[in-house]
Amino acid sequence: MSYVMVDIESDGPIPGDYSMICFGAVIVEPKLNRTFYGMVKPISKQFIPEALAVSGFSREDCESFEEPKLVMQQFETWLATNCTDRLMFISDNNGFDWQFINWYFHHFLGKNPFGFSSTNLGSLYKGMQKDTFTNFKHLRQTKHTHNPVEDALGNAEALLKMKEMGLRIKLS
């Protein structure tokens, strides 16, 4: 299975009404050297300034980004080129990140190469520790900056550390 750690930044809480601004992905493997970065032009006139500010981009910056269909096609091609077996979407907050990636894939390409499921990194760690109050974030090496590639890398580092701690997971 190819585990793909994903992180997204958006200008609001839900896809469609608001826009995914950018996203990053990394193939989870020891070297963590296969990454993808997409910067996506807004699909809606609506945005929440405080949400957009987290990304570090202005609305004017975002207007110059690539068309969503093109970026999602590039991401699909990158996934097909870098992953030879079944894809598994994993993220720190899959309830948030998944909804945007899933919506954008279905809306712009008519399908999602990840299928219909995802994994939450935090829940996985809580299960390993048998403690719903624990947090995995201390396992990251890369600082969490809201650059989605850096954030995906930090989360992938945490998953690799969890594997070292005994998590049974087969990475491609």
The domains found in the chain, sorted by start residue, are: 2-164 (3.30.420.10)
DSSP string for residues in 90-152: EETTHHHHHHHHHHHHHHHHS--TTTT-EEEHHHHHHHHHT-TT--SGGG--S---S-HHHHH
DSSP H or E run through 169: none
Please say whether the beta carbons of 16 and 44 come within 8 A: yes
Model pLDDT for residues 62-88, shown as the tens digit of each residue: 999 999 999 999 999 999 999 989 999
DSSP H or E run through 42: none
pTM over 0.85: yes
- The verdict on whether 107 is a catalytic residue reads no
- CA-CA distance, 71 to 159, in Å (whole number)? 26
Q: Which residues pair with 26 in a beta bridge?
A: 5, 35
Confidence of residue 172 (pLDDT cuts 50, 70, 90): confident
